[in-house]
Amino acid sequence: GDSVTQMEGPVTLSEEAFLTINCTYTATGYPSLFWYVQYPGEGLQLLLKATKADDKGSNKGFEATYRKETTSFHLEKGSVQVSDSAVYFCALKDVRGSTLGRLYFGRGTQLTVWP
Amino acid sequence: DVKVTQSSRYLVKRTGEKVFLECVQDMDHENMFWYRQDPGLGLRLIYFSYDVKMKEKGDIPEGYSVSREKKERFSLILESASTNQTSMYLCASSLYQTSTDTQYFGPGTRLTVL
């Protein structure tokens, strides 16, 4: 079945460091891929998404490229800020069969950025 | 902007109590979802609904039921709360079932069962 595996945290970085959070997926169809972010005390909000192979999603300096050959969707940012401290979730959605458009989430990666 | 609201941010209940968690969305979305979030486990789908009075079980429906009498409102019911249901509960909604459609989340309800 469909599933998402993302790197375990926590990840601790200094401000302006480069960030990579790895995400790989297993899917039977042609899924769309998402990164959601959860700031402390809040619900999840969409960070970026990609709907087909080789698409690049980007937002707020974050990027992720949909790589079908490696079944990956790694999140990157060139220079993190303290305000990026949050939990990041990778997710996929595949509407084939009876999934009815549900999301499959990874376990989340806690990022802490120090000044 | 889409707004998904949940009735309580924090809730404390006793074991055996019947608990209602309410979720309302204001954008005429077809689909609504209930998740629970636990450290190290990520988000797990409890139930979802793609239409009024329709519901589908997710990955962990045991001990829960849902109700969707109106399009904008999706309720999660804990028939007899237990301590292992202490968790963060997140509601979400989306307009369609297409693969590109975005789910919008509420702020969550942190439930403690004593």
pLDDT in tens, chain B (114 residues): 668 999 999 999 999 999 999 999 998 998 999 999 998 888 999 999 988 988 999 999 999 999 999 999 999 999 999 999 999 999 999 887 676 778 899 999 999 999
* Contact list, B31 vs chain A (CB under 8 Å): 100-101
- Asked if the C-beta of A45 comes within 8 angstroms of chain B's C-beta atoms, the answer is yes
A3-22 confidence digits (pLDDT tens): 899 988 899 999 999 999 99
pLDDT over 70 percentage in chain A:
94
* Contact list, A101 vs chain B (CB under 8 Å): 31, 50, 94, 96-99, 101
Mutation site for A-interface testing, chosen from B98, B103, B104 by largest number of A Cβ within 10 Å: B103
A42-99 confidence digits (pLDDT tens): 889 999 999 989 999 999 999 999 999 999 999 999 999 999 999 999 999 876 655 5
Contact assignment for B42 to A108 by CB distance below 8 Å = yes
- Nearest-by-CA chain A residue for B110: A41
Say how far apart CA B88 and CA B63 lie, in whole Å. 15
* Dihedral Cα A17, A78, B102, A37, nearest 10 deg: 10
